[in-house]
């Protein structure tokens, strides 16, 4: 049995084990994917141990993505751009290759929703999650505007990525009229921020705009609810979760897994 898993702290909430084990069964792969709770500071030892135990590789999630970036022996171009690693393959020669599939998964999911990658996109946020998404949108050919509560963080991101334009956090609704895509990559999508008002800013949104949130708990975030009420097309975070997982599954188990409606239904059952 080929082994893989997800390293995080906490990790019990992760839907990745359900997803990968479903794919193993569906594609006849003799594999198993397990949750691996690893405390901050213990990542290097955990990776070494898992490699010695014969694991094919792992996903890495909060809070370990930046440390994983520093620990691996080789990085893909996407990981370099994102400054983070979420997928590691243990190579037969004992080295670790780090990839970041968050941004490419996000774009693949938008494309699956027929969202054009050519226009102007506005991304809210400048943390680690925003960086992966912004890098992938730039690489896909979008013109990216970035608004973040702490403007300096957005400026650093633009400098690091060599693309994108920073706009004021207080003024982002004014930029909507020019945008075909709005992405929330702040933690304002999470439960606990249910009271944030998205209705007023969305008044300026053009009718053809797509609105995306990168979190999937809750599946319908306050932003997506407001966008739906306004009649806008919405894309939730579950499709991104599925798309970002595909490259890891292929790298460890040698099969490119399906990302169809049935896969989504499987995950919806557990939310």
Q: Tell me the per-residue interface mask from 13 to 32 with ligand ATR, x by CB under 6 A, - otherwise.
A: --------------------
Q: Please choose, out of 34-42, 145-153, 198-206, 253-261, the segment that lies near ligand ATR by the rule CB under 6 A.
A: 145-153
Among 65, 80, 228, 233, the one annotated catalytic: 65
Residue number, 101 or 148, with CB nearest to ligand ATR: 148
Q: State which residue has the least CB distance to ligand ATR.
A: 127
**Catalytic site residue 65?**
yes
Q: How far is the CB of 184 from ligand ATR (least distance, A)?
A: 9
- Taking CB under 6 A as the criterion, which residues in 183-222 touch ligand ATR? 186-188
Q: Are strands 87-90 and 57-60 parallel, antiparallel or unpaired?
A: antiparallel
Q: Determine if 126 is a binding residue for ligand ATR (CB under 6 A).
A: yes
Residue keyed to tokens 């053009």: 206
Q: Which tokens go with 162?
A: 């060599």
The reply to whether 153 sits near ligand ATR by the rule CB under 6 A is: yes
Q: Does 127 bind ligand ATR (CB under 6 A)?
A: yes
Interaction of residue 237 with ligand ATR, rule CB under 6 A: no
Which of 188/209 has CB closer to ligand ATR? 188
Minimum Å gap between C-beta 156 and ligand ATR is 10
Binding residues for ligand ATR, rule: CB under 6 A, are 125-130, 148-150, 153, 186-188
Residues carrying an active site annotation: 65
Binding residues for shikimate: 14-16, 61, 86, 102, 216, 244
């Amino acid at each position: 049995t080929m082994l893989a898993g997800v390293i995080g702290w906490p990790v019990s909430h992760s839907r990745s084990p359900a997803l990968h084990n479903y794919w193993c069964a569906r594609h006849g792969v003799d594999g198993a994917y397990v949750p691996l709770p690893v405390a901050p500071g213990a990542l290097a030892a955990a990776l070494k141990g898992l490699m010695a135990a014969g694991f094919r590789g792992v996903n890495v999630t909060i809070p370990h993505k930046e440390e994983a970036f520093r620990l691996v022996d080789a990085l893909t171009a996407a990981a370099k751009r994102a400054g983070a690693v979420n997928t590691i393959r243990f190579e037969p020669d004992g080295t670790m290759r780090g990839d970041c599939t968050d941004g490419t998964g996000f774009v693949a999911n938008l494309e699956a929703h027929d969202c054009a990658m050519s226009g102007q996109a506005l991304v809210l946020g400048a943390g680690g999650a925003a960086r992966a998404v912004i890098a992938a949108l730039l690489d896909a050919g979008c013109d990216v505007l970035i608004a973040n509560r702490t403007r300096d963080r957005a400026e650093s991101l633009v400098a690091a990525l060599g693309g994108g334009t920073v706009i004021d956090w207080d003024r982002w609704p004014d930029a909507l009229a020019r945008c075909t895509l709005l992405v929330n990559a702040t933690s304002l999508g999470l439960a606990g921020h249910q009271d944030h008002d998205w209705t007023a800013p969305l008044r300026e949104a053009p009718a053809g705009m797509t609105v995306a949130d990168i979190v999937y708990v809750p599946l319908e975030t306050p932003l997506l609810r407001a966008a739906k009420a306004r009649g806008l097309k919405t894309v939730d975070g579950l499709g991104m979760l599925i798309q970002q997982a595909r490259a890891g599954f292929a790298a460890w188990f040698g099969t490119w897994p399906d990302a169809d409606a049935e896969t989504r239904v499987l995950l919806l059952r557990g939310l």
